[in-house]
Amino acid sequence: MTFPYDSARRQLQAWQQDLDARGSQLEKVALEASGVQTRGADLSPADIAEIEKFARSKDAPNALKDLQRKVDSGEMSWQDISSGKAVNDPDVQRAMQTSVPSLKRAYTAIKEGQNLDEIIAAGQQRTRRSRGDFDDDAPSDFTEDAF
What is the SS3 assignment for the chain? CCCHHHHHHHHHHHHHHHHHHHHHHHHHHHHHHHCCCCCHHHCCHHHHHHHHHHHCCCCCCHHHHHHHHHHHHCCCCHHHHHHCCCCCCHHHHHHHHHHHHHHHHHHHHHHCCCCHHHHHHHHHHHHHHHCCCCCCCCCCCCCHHHC
What is the pLDDT of the chain when averaged over all its residues? Answer: 77
> Would 81 be classed as within a structural domain?
yes
> Would 34 be classed as within a structural domain?
no
| pLDDT per position as a tens digit, 1-47 | 667 788 888 899 999 999 989 988 988 888 887 776 555 456 788 88
> Would 133 be classed as within a structural domain?
no
% of the chain surpassing 90 pLDDT:
14
* Count of positions (residues) in the chain: 147
> Would 131 be classed as within a structural domain?
no
In the chain, the number of structural domains is 1
Residue 76 confidence (pLDDT): 93
| pLDDT per position as a tens digit, 54-97 | 888 887 888 888 999 999 999 999 888 888 888 889 988 888 88
Taking every pair of Cα atoms in the chain, the longest distance, rounded to a whole number of angstroms, is: 76
Please give the residue range of the domain that contains residue 56: 40-121
Residue 41 confidence (pLDDT): 52
> Would 88 be classed as within a structural domain?
yes
Q: How far is residue 124 from each of residues 20, 117, 147, measured CA to CA in Å?
A: 45, 11, 10
Residue 127 confidence (pLDDT): 53
